[in-house]
Amino acid sequence: MEFMQSATIHGHAVANGAGTIVNAIAIWKGAAFGIDLETTADVELDECSGDFGGITGIIEIGSDGAGDCGDVSYDTALITRCVTMVLDRFGCQCEGVVTTRSEIPIARGLKSSSAAANAATLATLNAIGETLPPIEVVRMGVRAALDVGVTITGAFDDACASLLGGIVITDNRNQELVDRIECDSRVLIYLPEEKAFTADTDIARSEAIAPLVEVAYKLALAHDFENAMTLNGLLYCAALGFDTEVAMRALELGVSGVSLSGTGSAYTALVGRDQVKELTSCWSEMGGTVIETKIVNR
């Protein structure tokens, strides 16, 4: 590509977080849904001149919405890798800065990494005036996540839910989108105080529950998403040492779909409008933070 008079070019994009229906770590097959919490990315690029300055990453986390302190420092390797991969794909010799801002709580299982990768990739494409099919955008972000070690399976299911919205069912090993369904539902998120990074997950304990996770996946294929979600949540809580009481409180109130999201520490529940107030009150009494959002289908 050519720059006019070495001018800086800008790109902007948005991607959503997601919640878990079936966690793919045990069986490399998963299901997830997009949620209406966003990560935005802005990319500024200059033509490389002489000494290559590379791509600098900045992650800005606001204390409102994300539940994280704005002065916390996070690793920018994923978003800079996404920018570099796009530039390499289209033969662009550029240096610059990528900045992400998120209302998705980080390290809580709400797919903040997938959203950041999707947003950074799309913003770079926007900056250089190029496009890729959505599934190729997803695969590029997955490759970047694997390269920098922030995922175990590649999180193809999470990345698809983040970019495509709705409910997605995937084969992560083959990076195949098996099914996508649009769905209208309120979502409640319970955030305990602790965080949980995917890279620290006990894979052996997750693999021990694989036969039962297969049952949850088959329920998802049959579009019995709430039962799939609840079975998945109870299984992974047991395997990874998370409290099942959060899920049980929701089930006692008549909520059918509730799960540990990803490898924690957040829990998500699909709720009707008439259940929002009661479950919010119940979970608030347990401490932590409750966020109300919805499935996003865009």
The pair of three-digit structure tokens given for residue 29, joined into one six-digit string = 């097959």
- Quick one: CATH architecture of 4-181? 2-Layer Sandwich (3.30)
> How many angstroms separate the CA atoms of 85 and 142, rounded?
11
Three-state DSSP class for residue 293: strand
How sure is the predictor about 7, in pLDDT bands with cuts at 50, 70 and 90? confident
Per-residue pLDDT tens digits for 26-81: 999 999 999 999 999 999 999 865 555 699 999 987 644 444 434 345 789 999 99
- Domain boundaries defined on the chain: 4-181, 186-294
Mean pLDDT of 242-253: 96
Q: Give the separation between CA 257 and CA 268, rounded to whole angstroms.
A: 8
User: How far is Cα 64 from Cα 60, in angstroms, rounded to an integer?
Assistant: 12
Element (H, E) at 249: helix 245-252
What's the mean pLDDT when you consider all of the chain?
A: 90
pTM over 0.75: yes
Average the pLDDT over each of 13-17, 87-91, 195-199 and give the range with the smallest value.
Answer: 195-199
Q: Please identify, in words, the CATH class of the domain defined by 186-294.
A: alpha beta
DSSP states of 182-194 as a string?
----EEEEEE-S-
CB neighbour list of residue 254: distance below 8 Å, 6 or more residues apart: 275
Mean pLDDT, to the nearest integer, of 136-158?
92
Lowest average pLDDT, out of 49-53, 74-78, 123-127, 287-291, goes to 49-53
Phi then psi for 251, rounded to 5 degrees? Answer: -60, -40
**What pLDDT score does 147 carry?**
93
Contact 109, 30 (CB under 8 A): no
Query: How far, in whole angstroms, is CA 112 from its chain's centroid?
Result: 4
What confidence tens digit (pLDDT) does each residue in 179-225 have?
999 999 999 999 998 766 655 566 788 889 999 999 999 999 999 99
CA distances from 104 to 40, 177, 223, 289 (A): 10, 24, 26, 13
DSSP label at residue 8: -
Q: State the pLDDT at residue 69.
A: 39
Select from 200, 219, 139 the least CA-distant residue to 173: 139
Residue 74: how many CB atoms within 10 A of its CB? 19
In 3D space, the residue among 122, 137, 228, 123 whose CA is nearest the CA of residue 183 turns out to be: 228
